[in-house]
Amino acid sequence: MDALATLLDGPRARGAFLLRSVLTPPWAVKVADLAPLTLVHMVRGDAWIRTDDGQARSLSCGGIAVIRGPEPYVVAGDRNTEPQIVIRPGQVSTDVDGNELCEQMDLGVRTWGDDPDGAHGAGSGAGEEAALSAVMISGTYQMRGEISSRLLSALPQVLVLAPDAWSSPLPALLSEEIVRDEPGQEVVLDRLLDLLLIAVLRTWFARSEAKAPAWYAAQSDPVVGPALRLLHDDPAHPWTVADLAARTGVSRAALGRRFTDLVGEPPMAYLTGWRLALAADLLREPDATIASVARRVGYGSPFALSAAFKRVRGLSPQQHRERIAAAASS
């Protein structure tokens, strides 16, 4: 498994929030839900995504945006339209004064907005056209995991893929599935969202403007790439630089220099960071003990994991777990 595949295995949707929005111009929605990652697909109409730093990105019909949280942003049909709707934590929608709109704007299965017909007629005379409502699908990952944080740190706050920049059947499939109300549909939508995210990020990282992180570029190196895959495939193995060098067919010194030059840190430091990222993610599971997590990420005892965790992250595994619980309850 390559480095990108392993990192993309982290943000796996579990009950993701998916919504089809139908909004009549002029429209603008401020998103302040604190979510770590959201995908937005414009099914009909165009939009602008504005961030608090004053930047604005155009999202044309058929395009997809990936927006990294938790900073707020505005999605609007026009660059200058002020928000009329606010999406708050817990995916609660209100007007700008805080009055709830969830029930008022409910349009059926995972559909929400102010136009029940999906369009708003401008007239029926000759030469007159309907002013169609915008339709967009948003998929929101609602939990921040430590592995996905490693990936999210490599992303800009907003990335946009124009419809002519890639080709995939996934957006159309998601459009069909999001309005179905069948047994197990939430799981189907979770997996579709995961696949769409992977497809978008794979396309994005292949582009020159993506400024891919060092670990992504290094995976194509004939020496460092195989070493990274070995570490990601089996982090619990008692790896040494000598072992990795033997597996990749170079000397210890050559592997150490090349790995550090391309990845930005020595192999064993990278392995420690990866193991602790895995451990932090596994500690989110309520039934996982510190001992079981230690075994899965390559530490011989709970004490060894705790010592490494506190040395690198500044808190113990138990304190990390308590912080997660406190954040979830708030």
More confident residue, 215 or 55: 55
Q: Is the pLDDT of residue 310 over 90?
A: yes
CB of 218 within 8 A of CB of 262? yes
Q: Which of 162, 148, 147, 115 is nearest to 38 (CA)?
A: 148
State the average pLDDT over residues 310-325.
Answer: 88
Fold of 215-329: Arc Repressor Mutant, subunit A (1.10.10)
pLDDT in tens, 109-168: 999 998 877 643 433 333 333 458 999 999 998 766 644 666 777 788 999 999 998 889
Q: Following DSSP, what letter does each residue of 161-192 receive, concatenated?
A: E-GGG---SHHHHHHHHTT---TTHHHHHHHH
More confident residue, 157 or 4: 157
For 32, counting Cβ atoms within 10 Å of its Cβ (0-12 exposed, 13-18 middle, 19+ buried), the class is middle
Domain coordinates in residue numbering, the chain: 3-210, 215-329
Q: Is the pLDDT of residue 250 over 80?
A: yes
The predicted structure's pLDDT at residue 275: 93
Q: How far apart are CA 47 and CA 155, in angstroms?
A: 21
State the average pLDDT over residues 271-300.
Answer: 90
Torsion angle of C-alpha atoms 43, 45, 51, 53, degrees rounded to 10: 140
CB of 233 within 8 A of CB of 2? no
The predicted structure's pLDDT at residue 328: 62
Q: Going by CATH, does the domain composed of 3-210 fall within 3.90.950.20?
A: no
pLDDT in tens, 204-248: 888 877 777 777 778 889 999 999 989 988 999 999 999 999 999
Quickly state the pLDDT bin for 85 (edges 50, 70, 90).
very high
Contacts 24+ apart (CB under 8 A), 237-242: 237/298, 238/298, 239/267, 239/268, 239/271, 239/298, 240/268, 241/266, 241/267, 241/268
The predicted structure's pLDDT at residue 9: 58
Q: Is the pLDDT of residue 2 over 90?
A: no
